[in-house]
Structure 1
Amino acid sequence: MELQRKWHVGLLMVVAFLALSACAEDTADTKKQNTAEQQTEMEHSSMNHASSGEVPTTLKNADNPMYPVGSTAVIINGHMEGMKGAEATIVGAYDTTAYMISYEPTTGGKRVENHKWVIHEELLNPGSEPLTSGTEVKTDASHMEGMVNATVRIDEALQTTVYMIDYVSTTNGDVVTNHKWVTEDELTKNE
């Protein structure tokens, strides 16, 4: 009987250890995800949230965008602190290829990884066809410090409608005008 009781206690200890290990691993994964999101926000801290509203002359207006100019939508996936959950007013809607890129800033500093988004028309001599992952090309986009004339690596290409938006930051109340760019997948209908 004593041996059986010790065996039960030992088994309970093993089960408890495994359960706690699983919880710790889940917490570690959550911390990693939160750290990655904070890192993205920090990397985008030098981003020009607002712009003059000028767009490349070759950029074509979207024929039938999900979110027409003048309508509103909610940002469900923001690139910077204060975007997620903000109401966006659509200033422009354009059909193009949007690229997630990585690059070394021309002004020095840490390499920027997975920046969202630069569009096809902001690349220097890209040709008419969308570029594939791994392609290197220069850009004249000025969304972030050190981006103009930087050699960028294409990490992902997405054929989509991109939007230029106005919004009010959910964290500090700043009004951001003509922010470039958010994709259709990063917005949702305003309920």
Structure 2
Amino acid sequence: MNGRLGRTMTLGVLVTATLMSGCSAPVSEEAQAPPSESHRDPDDHEGHDHPADGGPAPEGMTERDEPRYPVGAEVILTADHMAGMDGATATIVGAYETYTYSVDYTPTTGGDPVEDHRWVVQEEIRDAGGDLLPDGTEVTLAAEHMTGMDGATATIASSTGETVYIVDLEVDGMTMTNHKWVVESEIEPAS
């Protein structure tokens, strides 16, 4: 009798497990698709969507007069914002005069906090005004560099007044247009 009871219980457990697995919510196509590009920060967090086309510069930005790297110039990037970026050849799309910030934030879509996201410009911070925001200031982002960024609460980690650039580049076989942002110290002339 013990053997028969054991087989019956085992069969019951298997049937229950099979039925329960059939009741789980389906995984959406979006969740199954790999992200277009993962963003790399010093803490090496990955998996945040990074669009292949960053779109135009925010309204109200001031173009830099006679930037070191003019529009159309081919340059080498020394930034490591994402895998494959350091050493990549890029083309300058725009050069701007503004304050640029590294920020810490938690995506509005959930997930792990993002630390030291480089970069967000003054014009991508809601109600930022025209003055430099001090480190530690809590702000609301109006940038769409990655999924879950727009509307996120962030803290200013650091800032710079360097010329900031939009670039086109190829990273790990993926062409990225209008990538935002790279500051002047993260660029070298192409030989």
Do Structure 1 and Structure 2 share a fold, with TM-score over 0.5?
yes
1:150 aligns with one of 149, 152, 162: 152
Query: Which letter does structure 2 place at the counterpart of 1:89?
Result: T
Q: Which residue is equivalent to 2:186? A: 186
User: Partners in 1 of 2:47 and 2:75 — Cα distance?
Assistant: 22
CA-CA distance at 1:37 after TM superposition: 6.3
Q: Which residue is equivalent to 2:20? A: none
Distance 1:49 1:63, change over 3 A: same
Q: Please tell me whether the aligned partners of residues 41 and 116 of structure 2 are also in contact (alpha carbons under 8 angstroms).
A: no
Query: Which letter does structure 2 place at the counterpart of 1:155?
Result: A
User: Partners in 2 of 1:38 and 1:154 — Cα distance?
Assistant: 16
Query: Number of matched residues?
Result: 152
TM-score of the superposed pair, with normalisation by structure 1: 0.75
CA-CA distance at 1:68 after TM superposition: 0.1
Distance 1:38 1:152, change over 3 A: closer
Query: Which letter does structure 1 place at the counterpart of 2:167?
Result: I
User: Partners in 1 of 2:54 and 2:129 — Cα distance?
Assistant: 26
Residues 1-191 of structure 1 aligned to structure 2 (within 5 Å) = 39-40=43-44, 42-43=45-46, 45-52=48-55, 54-169=56-171, 172-191=172-191
> What is the root-mean-square deviation in Å for CA atoms of aligned residues?
1.7
Q: Please tell me whether the aligned partners of residues 77 and 86 of structure 2 are also in contact (alpha carbons under 8 angstroms).
A: yes
Q: Please tell me whether the aligned partners of residues 91 and 163 of structure 1 are also in contact (alpha carbons under 8 angstroms).
A: yes
CA-CA distance at 1:48 after TM superposition: 2.6
Distance 1:159 1:133, change over 3 A: same
TM-score of the superposed pair, with normalisation by structure 2: 0.75
User: Partners in 1 of 2:139 and 2:42 — Cα distance?
Assistant: 28
* Percent identical: 41
